[in-house]
Chains A and B, each alone.
Chain A
Amino acid sequence: MISTPIEEGYFKIKGDGQPVLLGSYSPSSGNTYYPIRKLCPVTSEPVETVELPIEGELYSWTFVRMASIGSQSKKEGGGHGVGQVDLPCGTRIQTAISGELGDWEIGMKMKLALLPVKQDGDTQLCSYCFEPIK
Chain B
Amino acid sequence: MSRDVYVAGVGMHPFMRNAPSGRDMYFTAAMETMKDAGIKFQEVGALYNGYIGGEMMEGVTFAKDLGLTNVPIVHVENASATGSCAFREAVNAVKGGECDIAMAVGYDDMIKHTRKRAIMAMADKPKIEQTILPAAFFAMWATRRMHEAGTTVETFAKIAAKNWNHARFNKYAQRQAANIVTPEEILASNEVSYPHTTKMACAAGGGAAGAVVVTKEIAQRLANGRPLVKVTGSQAKSEHYTDGHVFLGAVIGPEDLTRVTTQALYEEAGIGPDDVDLVHVHDAFPIEELMYYELMGFCGKGEGDRMVADGETSIGGRIPFSTDGGLTARGHPGGPTGLAQVWDAVTQLRGEADKRQVEGAQNAMIHMMGAGSICIMHMLQKEA
Contact yes or no, A69 B140, CB < 8 A: no
Give A125 to B123 CA distance when docked, in angstroms. Answer: 13
Contact yes or no, A117 B126, CB < 8 A: yes
Contact yes or no, B133 A7, CB < 8 A: no
Binary per-residue interface labels of chain B (117-155) against chain A in the complex, 1 for a CB within 8 Å, 0 otherwise: 001101100111011110111011111100100000000
Number of residues in B with C-beta < 8 Å to the partner? 36
Contact yes or no, B147 A62, CB < 8 A: no
Question: Which one of B92-100, B244-252, B361-369 is at the interface?
Answer: B244-252
Contact yes or no, B241 A60, CB < 8 A: no
Q: CB-nearest residue of chain A relative to B131?
A: A69
User: In the complex, how many angstroms separate the beta carbon of B298 from the nearest chain A beta carbon?
Assistant: 24
Contact yes or no, B128 A65, CB < 8 A: no
Question: Contacting A42 at CB < 8 Å: which of B128, B193, B241?
Answer: B241
A-B CB pair tally, cutoff 8 Å = 109
Give A71 to B133 CA distance when docked, in angstroms. Answer: 13
Known A-B contacts A69-B126, A72-B120; the reply to A106 vs B246 at CB < 8 A is no
Binary per-residue interface labels of chain A (91-127) against chain B in the complex, 1 for a CB within 8 Å, 0 otherwise: 0111110000100001000000000011000000101
Contact yes or no, B144 A106, CB < 8 A: yes
CB-CB < 8 A to B188: which residues of A? none
Show the binding face of B for A, using Cβ within 8 Å: 119-120, 122-123, 126-128, 130-133, 135-137, 139-144, 147, 190-195, 241, 243-249, 251
29 A-B pairs whose Cβ atoms sit less than 8 Å apart in the complex: A7-B127, A7-B128, A33-B245, A35-B247, A35-B248, A41-B241, A60-B141, A60-B144, A61-B143, A63-B193, A64-B136, A65-B190, A65-B191, A65-B192, A67-B122, A69-B122, A69-B130, A71-B123, A72-B123, A79-B193, A82-B131, A82-B140, A82-B193, A94-B131, A94-B137, A95-B131, A96-B131, A117-B126, A125-B126
